[in-house]
Amino acid sequence: MKLPAPPVLLFLCGMFSLPMALADSGIQLDTPKGGWRTRAMDGEQYIQEVNYPASSVNTPQGQADTARIRGQIKGAPKVNKEPGKLIVNGVSMPLKFDEQGSFDRPYAFPNGSNSVEVRSPDGQQRKRVQFLNTGGGVTPPKLRVLLSWDSDNTDLDLHLVTPDGAHIWYGDRVAPNGATLDVDVTTGYGPEIFSMPAPLKGQYLVYVNYYGGGYRSDDDEDGGQENAVQPLTTAQVTVITEEGTPDEKSETFVVPMRAPGELTLVRSFSYP
């Protein structure tokens, strides 16, 4: 005799919903929230401030929730911690967090459908949200370049040269043509993000500079000293055009950076 269909369906739904509930239990994602939202003159800042030394939580005070990724990885290790993982619209990058497991990252989302996923360092905990973003008077970037890298306590810098010869980098982060570079992350992993709402036609050059390694403090008879640590690190550069539209294109390049002072031309491309 066959079992009635409804009890079987209920049992199967229970089987498959439990692992998802457990996966979400260790991560709190305060923003963004899922659903439909409008950026209606809420104080969103397209240009971010740079503070030295940069911290792992580098969102400026007063940043609108529509332009940030904020939350906490509960139970994150306090020593020798590996980064978590942040995946925004399919682009994966390391996520650095503080001693309490908190993270707070400025991010200018494009119009249309967006997804944000946060994973714990061991990959066992994850939280994902999907939301629909509408304009509210903010011009979304049509060209975005993201730099991240795979080692802590290292400093890589993103440099862009636009078709009119403007050079955008951490020392000159805003160009008259509208190109901008957000926070300068000096403590490892990144990301650093170049954005341009109205890209010029022509050739763009993308460079990565290995500015320097981190430092560790070793005790000695004089009360301590700092020894330079210069690890090999791998840069990941993603170029996104027409983000959030049917014409969106994305390319990712992985480049080994071997020594401080190295300046590497990662990519040249033409827009459109």
Check whether domain 17-138 has CATH 3.40.640.10, yes or no = no
What Cα–Cα distance (Å) separates residue 39 from each residue in 14, 36, 129, 198?
37, 10, 17, 19
**Residue 249, C-beta contacts closer than 8 angstroms, at least 6 positions apart:** 240, 241, 242
At residue 271 the predicted structure's pLDDT band, cuts being 50, 70 and 90, is very high
Average pLDDT of span 152-171: 95
pLDDT at 50: 40
Task: Tell me which residue of 73, 68, 60, 59 sits closest to 37, measured CA to CA.
Answer: 68
pLDDT at 169 over 70: yes
Tokens of 197: 């709402």
The pTM is what?
Answer: 0.79
Give the span between the Cα atoms of 137 and 39, in whole angstroms.
7
Task: Tell me which residue of 194, 105, 203 sits closest to 158, measured CA to CA.
Answer: 194
Domain ranges of the chain: 17-138, 141-272
Average pLDDT of span 208-213: 91
Q: Which residues of 145-173 are buried (b: 16+ CB within 10 A; e: fewer)?
A: bbbbbbbbbbbbbbbbbbeeebebbbeeb
Q: Which of the given ranges, 97-106, 110-119, 160-169, 182-191, has the highest pLDDT on average?
A: 160-169
At residue 76 the predicted structure's pLDDT band, cuts being 50, 70 and 90, is confident
Q: For 4-34, write each residue's pLDDT tens digit.
A: 544 433 333 333 333 443 445 689 999 999 9
pLDDT at 258 over 60: yes
**Residue 167, C-beta contacts closer than 8 angstroms, at least 6 positions apart:** 159, 160, 161
More confident call, 132 vs 213 = 132
pLDDT at 137: 62
Average per-residue pLDDT in the chain?
80
Q: How far is CA 238 from the centre of its chain?
A: 11
3-state DSSP assignment of residue 110: coil
Q: For 114-160, write each residue's pLDDT tens digit.
A: 999 999 999 999 999 999 988 666 677 899 999 999 998 899 999 99
pLDDT at 184: 79
Give the span between the Cα atoms of 87 and 51, in whole angstroms.
25
Average pLDDT of span 215-232: 51
pLDDT at 12: 34
Q: How far is CA 255 from the centre of its chain?
A: 18
pLDDT at 51: 39
